[in-house]
């Protein structure tokens, strides 16, 4: 049903899956830039289309599918299902003659206040991302991580320091904004994160008051910035701050040195090790192919009795 040569391809309907090279017809699972290209025709959810329009210039045409809606192309039935990674992120299910192929894309099973809840789908073949496929990537419950984030920001402000929180401009940024503003903290958010908020509002995800960050004049609030701002001059000159980076890699003891911050909190938009296993155990595929991860995870799946391989 599929072919893989650097990119995932469904030859019979010439559909490319999450290719970063321009193709005639491509499925984009979500609007992170490592999954996005200016394909001539893009298959995606309406939210992914809205984000993609802010990220790529002169896109060609979109074919949008709502979650659960079915599309027929040739002998194939196609449907999209929430992946829980960021708003609009989708798994794609392709069926032909009763044979079902599921591609997870980036996914997260635990709930997020800014993304649709993950949906389990049955399939015969599963192609899945395995970013956190080592046992020590067992993320603490998100309520704990949220409480720690709020606490750290409160106590920094109390000590007269500026809490600076770093997250990706799409997904983690809005997730942090929601957590911080719902907790009643004053927040200044960078425009690169704020520009996506109207799409969230259109999807019924609302945010309390916040201010737009101004690098020349700021203070008395939590500052929420995209991750690459760590390399900007105003940030390097910053004194009296407490810096927090939001990432599942926070489970690694050396993460704060790697990211150059005071604290890395494991607020992740990817499945942790247990959720990766939970996906395979629930989907019960006869074959699993793993991408974006550690080869050890494939060995762990095989040891647990699944027929797994690295997608290559």
- Give the nearest distance from C-beta 272 to Zn ion in angstroms: 15
- Give the nearest distance from C-beta 243 to Zn ion in angstroms: 23
Any residues with CB less than 8 A from the CB of 56 and at least 6 apart, and which? 36, 37, 38
Q: Which is nearer to Zn ion, 39 or 108 (CB)?
A: 108
Report how many residues bind Zn ion under the rule CB under 5 A.
Answer: 2
Q: Which is nearer to Zn ion, 106 or 272 (CB)?
A: 106
- Give the nearest distance from C-beta 89 to Zn ion in angstroms: 7
Query: What tokens were used for 244?
Result: 């927090």
Q: Which is nearer to Zn ion, 32 or 178 (CB)?
A: 32
- Give the nearest distance from C-beta 78 to Zn ion in angstroms: 21
Q: Does 175 bind Zn ion (CB under 5 A)?
A: no
- Give the nearest distance from C-beta 29 to Zn ion in angstroms: 8
- Give the nearest distance from C-beta 30 to Zn ion in angstroms: 6
From 101-109, 157-165, 196-204, 226-234, span contacting Zn ion (CB under 5 A) = 101-109
Q: Does 106 bind Zn ion (CB under 5 A)?
A: yes
From 32-40, 42-50, 93-101, 239-247, span contacting Zn ion (CB under 5 A) = 32-40
Q: Which is nearer to Zn ion, 242 or 259 (CB)?
A: 259
Q: Which is nearer to Zn ion, 106 or 146 (CB)?
A: 106
Q: Does 172 bind Zn ion (CB under 5 A)?
A: no
Q: Which is nearer to Zn ion, 170 or 197 (CB)?
A: 170
For Zn ion, the binding residue among 32, 39, 134, 142 (CB under 5 A) is: 32
- Give the nearest distance from C-beta 69 to Zn ion in angstroms: 22
Radius of gyration, alpha carbons of the chain: 20
Any residues with CB less than 8 A from the CB of 217 and at least 6 apart, and which? none
Q: Which is nearer to Zn ion, 119 or 287 (CB)?
A: 119
Q: Are 71 and 78 in contact (CB under 8 A)?
A: yes
Q: Which is nearer to Zn ion, 106 or 190 (CB)?
A: 106
- Give the nearest distance from C-beta 28 to Zn ion in angstroms: 11
**Which strands, in side-by-side order, build the sheet including 15-17?**
3-5, 7-10, 15-17, 25-27, 41-44, 61-64
Q: Three-state SS across the chain?
A: CCEEECEEEEHHHCEEECCCCCCCEEECCCCCHHHCCCCCEEEECHHHHHHHHHHCCCCCEEEECCCCCEEEECCEEEEEEECCCCCCCEEEEEEECCEEEEECCCCCCCCCCCCCCCCCCCCCEEEEECCCCCCCCCCCCHHHHHHHHHHHHHHHHHCCCEEEEEECCCCHHHHHHHHHHHCCCCEEECHHHHCCHHHHHHCCCCCCCCEECCCCCCCCCEEEEEHHHHHCHHHHCCCCEEEEEECHHHHCCCHHHHHCCCEEECCCCCCCHHHHHHHHHHHCCCEEEEECCCHHHHHHHHHCCCCEEECC
From 55-63, 104-112, 185-193, 195-203, span contacting Zn ion (CB under 5 A) = 104-112
Q: Which is nearer to Zn ion, 172 or 263 (CB)?
A: 172
- Give the nearest distance from C-beta 114 to Zn ion in angstroms: 14
Contacts with Zn ion by CB under 5 A lie at 32, 106
């Amino acid at each position: 049903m599929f072919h893989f040569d650097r990119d995932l391809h469904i030859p019979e309907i010439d559909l490319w899956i999450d290719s970063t090279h321009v193709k005639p017809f491509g499925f984009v699972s979500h609007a992170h830039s490592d999954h996005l290209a200016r394909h001539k025709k893009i298959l995606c959810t309406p939210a992914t289309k809205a984000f993609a329009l802010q990220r790529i210039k002169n896109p060609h045409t979109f074919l949008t599918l709502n979650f659960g809606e079915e599309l027929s192309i040739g002998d194939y039935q196609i449907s999209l299902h929430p992946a829980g990674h960021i708003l609009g992120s989708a798994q794609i299910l392709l069926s032909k003659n009763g044979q079902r192929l599921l591609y997870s894309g980036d996914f997260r099973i635990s709930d997020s206040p800014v993304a649709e809840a993950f949906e389990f789908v049955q399939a015969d073949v599963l192609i899945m991302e395995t970013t956190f496929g080592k046992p020590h990537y067992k993320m603490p419950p998100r309520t704990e991580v949220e409480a720690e984030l709020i606490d750290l920001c409160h106590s920094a402000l109390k000590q007269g320091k500026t809490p600076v929180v770093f997250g990706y401009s799409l997904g983690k940024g809005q997730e942090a904004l929601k957590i911080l503003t719902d907790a009643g903290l004053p927040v200044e958010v960078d425009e690169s994160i704020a520009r996506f908020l109207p799409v969230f509002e259109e999807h019924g995800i609302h945010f309390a008051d916040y201010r737009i960050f101004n690098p020349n004049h700021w203070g008395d609030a939590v500052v929420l910035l995209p991750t690459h701002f760590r390399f900007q001059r105003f940030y390097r000159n910053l004194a009296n701050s407490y810096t927090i980076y939001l990432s599942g890699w926070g489970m690694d003891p050396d993460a704060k040195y790697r990211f150059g911050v005071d604290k890395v909190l494991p607020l992740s938009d990817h499945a942790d090790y247990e959720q990766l296993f939970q996906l395979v155990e629930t989907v019960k595929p006869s074959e699993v192919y793993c991408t974006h991860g550690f080869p050890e995870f494939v060995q762990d799946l095989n040891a647990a009795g699944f027929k797994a391989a690295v997608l290559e």
